[in-house]
Amino acid sequence: MIVLEACGNMAKRNYSYSSIALDIAYGLHSDIRKACYANDDFVNTALMSAYGNCGALMDVEMIFGALHVRSMATWTAMLRAYMDQGEVEKALSFYSQMQENIIVDDIMFLAILQLCSETGCLIYFKQTHYTLVVVGFDKIPFIVSSIITGYGSCASMLDGQATFAGFEEPTLESWNACIAGYSVVGKLSASFHILEELRMAGVRPDEATFVSVFVACSHCGRIRESFEYLWSMEKDYGLTPDVKHYTTSIDLLGRVGQLQKAMQLLKGLPAQADSAAWSSLLGACCMHSDAMLAEIVFEYAARVHADQVDTYVLLSNVYALNKCAENVT
Would you say 83 and 95 are in contact if contact means Cβ atoms under 8 Å apart?
Answer: no
Cα-atom radius of gyration of the chain, to the nearest Å? 23
**Is the alpha carbon torsion for 41, 43, 49, 55 positive or negative?**
negative
Domain limits, the chain: 1-101, 258-329
The tens-digit pLDDT sequence of the chain (329 residues) is 666 776 666 666 656 567 888 888 888 888 888 887 778 888 899 999 989 888 899 999 999 999 988 888 899 889 888 888 878 778 878 887 887 888 777 877 887 888 788 778 888 889 889 989 998 999 999 999 999 999 999 999 999 999 999 998 899 999 999 999 999 888 989 999 999 999 999 999 999 999 999 988 888 889 999 999 999 998 999 999 888 888 888 989 998 999 999 999 888 876 666 777 887 888 888 788 788 888 888 787 777 665 555 556 666 666 665 665 555 44
d(CA 209, CA 212): 5
Three-point CA angle 121, 125, 131, nearest 5°: 155
Q: What pTM was estimated for this model as a whole? A: 0.70
d(CA 271, CA 212): 20
Please tell me the number of Cα atoms within 13 Å of 290 on its side-chain side: 19
